[in-house]
């Protein structure tokens, strides 16, 4: 996300670090979520939130634009192609994990509808579900399985949660293949769930909780 002040300019890959596997931020910036600090995209007088975006020419735009347009069907968010706006979402390729970020990054072979939604939700200010402030009531992270030095990806964040329940089906839960980048072994499991049959990280589109949170943060009067 590029800001007019330049503080959040992500175009220079040299000043970025990747946190939680797929969120790119400047190395001198705290990773606190916008839901905590109030750095939301502004709402217009018509009640809509208009967010300009740019897509790298190296990508096929069909899946990306379909995912972008899906937000208008269920929320007040309206993404539109950038012209001269100073604040915008920049969809581009970054090094590191090669996932999409909130200056949204996509690598070749990673462009899926749900992945684009996932990363645009980051651009709206939301973090991964497994980093919620109340996550310990719902999952257990087995830090002994994490590659040394990568533990920070599982730090809890002082999120507000907007009165919504923990959602195993959220599109911002890490996918299975993303998780294995940060673990040294595959057994025992990375998480301990309430039951052995709990499914996570399989969402292909926004859950109702994802939609509700966006509407609560941006669209409520």
Binding residues for Zn(2+): 118, 122, 128
- Rg over alpha carbons for the chain, rounded to the nearest Å, is 17
Nearest-5° angle of CA 57, CA 61, CA 66? 155
Nearest-5° angle of CA 123, CA 127, CA 131? 170
Catalytic residue among 11, 119, 129, 150: 119
Report the binding-site residues: 118, 122, 128
Structure tokens at 175: 């996918």
Nearest to 36 by CA among 137, 156, 154, 161: 161
Catalytic site includes residue 119: yes
CA 151, 173, 29, 37 dihedral sign is: negative
Q: Which residues are catalytic?
A: 119
């Amino acid at each position: 996300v590029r800001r007019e002040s330049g503080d959040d300019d992500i175009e220079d890959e040299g000043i970025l670090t990747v946190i939680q596997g797929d969120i790119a931020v400047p190395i001198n910036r705290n990773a606190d979520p916008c839901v905590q600090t109030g750095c939301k995209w502004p709402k217009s007088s018509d009640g809509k939130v208009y967010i300009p975006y740019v897509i790298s020419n190296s990508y096929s735009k069909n899946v990306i634009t379909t995912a972008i347009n899906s937000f208008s069907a269920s929320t007040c968010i309206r993404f539109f192609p950038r012209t001269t706006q100073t604040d915008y979402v920049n969809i581009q390729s970054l090094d590191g994990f090669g996932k999409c970020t909130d200056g949204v990054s996509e690598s070749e072979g990673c462009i899926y509808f749900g992945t684009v939604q996932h990363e645009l939700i980051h651009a709206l200010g939301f973090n991964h579900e497994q980093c919620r402030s109340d996550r310990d009531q719902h999952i257990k992270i087995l830090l002994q399985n994490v590659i040394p030095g990568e533990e920070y990806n599982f730090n809890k964040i002082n999120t507000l949660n907007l009165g919504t329940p923990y959602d195993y089906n959220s599109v911002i839960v890490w996918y299975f293949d993303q998780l294995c980048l940060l673990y040294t072994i595959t057994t025992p499991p990375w998480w301990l769930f309430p039951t052995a049959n709990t499914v996570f990280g399989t969402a292909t589109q926004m859950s109702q909780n994802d939609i509700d949170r966006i509407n609560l943060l941006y669209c409520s009067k």
